[in-house]
Amino acid sequence: MNQRVNGVLTLLVIFAAAFSSVFLLKNTQHGQRLIDKLSAAQGGSGYSSEAYHLQADRSIDLSQVEVLEAINRESAALVKAVVPSVVSIDTKGVQNQSVRDVFGRTWVQPRAVQGQGSGAIVTREGHVLTNYHVVKGEPVISVTMHDGSIHEARVIGADPAVDIAVLKIIDSGPFVPLKFGDSSQVEVGNIVYAVGSPFGLGESVTDGMISAKKRSFTDSQVDLLQTSAAINPGNSGGPLVNIFGEIVGINSRIYSTDKDNPGFQGIGFAIPSNDALKTMQDILARGRPIRGFLGMALADMGPNARRILDYSDEPGVRISRILPNSPAMHAGLLENDIIISFGGEKATNTRRVIALVQQSKVGSHVELEVWRDKKKMVLTSIIGEADEKTQVGMAEPKDTLDIKSVLTAIGLYVRDVSAKEQEQGLRGVIVARVDTKSSLHGKLQEGDVVRAINGNYAFNSKDFLTQLAQSATIQDTELFVLRGKARIRVTISKVE
């Protein structure tokens, strides 16, 4: 019995010795020591620490980058001084939207909308300057300050033609306003900073330069500054400041090839501070923008007009009608006079001349160079003041009944651009429906974007329909329309 037990034990010892030899050989071949295995089995990490040394000295001496270091410090100081005066704006409201069912019936359905933008505090009393399209539609407005506090605000007034709105924070402050700079002194190449709340993320600052000046758009009464400082959705209404922290522009729009998901592509635009300041001062003084007025209807010089009037010179704008007892009539202007320049500015098109008239100071004298009967002459006119019923290039309708009957005869129905469409860069009014018996049936389609009427930007549906009724009773009316990527012009014959 003992011999059998001893034999079994001997076999176990031999087996254990053989297994250990194989185990030791295998792990030694892979470069791992047995002691590491034993340490791991006893709970050790099996890792030995690595030695390292960090670089203690700068790669470049400060004396070699003194200017860059100063720019770094000064940029931070500038931003620190500016951002407390920039606010984030949130809006909530209700907007009417045209809805069409499967039977082709259309009706208006209200829906809740929200919006977001930026603004700059510009007075010690808490007035905030922002874009009109940020607060369009009389929404409930709240502003978030630099310190995170949230306050209600109300709209004092707005000017859609310049895309400027003036708000007032409903609180006693104190408020720290930004100073206005002189945008007429801005030069291409100047360094600027765009401050705002892109995508609702909160305070953000981007830098760039003035890329160009006097960028013209059909839906803006003023020429804009172009900047390379990044502007994204949500930056609208925020300030564009110079190296002194002064407002030289109000950020208003971007150029983007992706209309569904617009984003910065190196080209942004801002309303010059001088135009924004004048608009604000007019609104605070009178509750509305103050525009110059001459009382004349204008038309671009097409091939037929040039042939009939025997005019082949530089660009000009034809006077198609003079309103009775208007400043234009008292200045001696006549129908079919061709305006060559206005106040020294070339009359390149009707939009430009209308903008120059409306921006002129009421009561000022302005010289117009005109072409009449193959001769050039200079006439001087006193700028009148446009009221809410009169506009440059348009005659007043006879009465409300006429407006309704004219619009019914035309058979065109439009709606305002939605907040989402505004973010995508759309401006103007959207064609909602065209009567099958209308002369426009087949010319206009549902979804077409009407940008301008007779060269005047269509700000909203009410403004557009008023202009349409006024124009259609006295002349053929031209619409500038976007259909996808196509740009077309549609003429509405005079309504008899």
Q: Which residues are catalytic?
A: 133, 163, 236
Question: Cis (ω within 30 of 0) for the bond into 262?
Answer: no
Backbone φ/ψ region at 106: left (φ over 0), alpha (ψ -120 to 50), beta: beta
Q: How far apart are CA 135 and CA 141, in angstroms?
A: 8
Report CA dihedral (102, 106, 112, 118) to the nearest 10 degrees.
110
Whether the CB-CB separation of 177 and 124 falls below 8 Å is answered with yes
Backbone φ/ψ region at 282: left (φ over 0), alpha (ψ -120 to 50), beta: alpha
Whether the CB-CB separation of 17 and 24 falls below 8 Å is answered with no
Whether the CB-CB separation of 366 and 383 falls below 8 Å is answered with yes
Residue of 454, 196, 485, 468 lying closest to 350 (CA atoms): 454
User: How do strand 239-241 and strand 191-196 relate by DSSP bridges?
Assistant: antiparallel
| Angle subtended at Cα 26 by Cα 23 and Cα 27, rounded to the nearest 5 degrees | 85
101-108, Cβ contacts within 8 angstroms, sequence gap of 24 or more: 106/413, 106/432, 106/433
User: How do strand 164-169 and strand 477-483 relate by DSSP bridges?
Assistant: unpaired
Question: 82 is written with which tokens?
Answer: 């500016």
Question: 395 is written with which tokens?
Answer: 């005659």
> Which secondary-structure segment (H or E) carries 466?
helix 461-472
Cα-Cα end-to-end distance for the chain: 133
C-alpha pair distances (Å), 180 with each of 139, 188, 194, 241, 243: 27, 19, 14, 9, 12
Q: Which residue has the tokens 């009014």?
A: 429
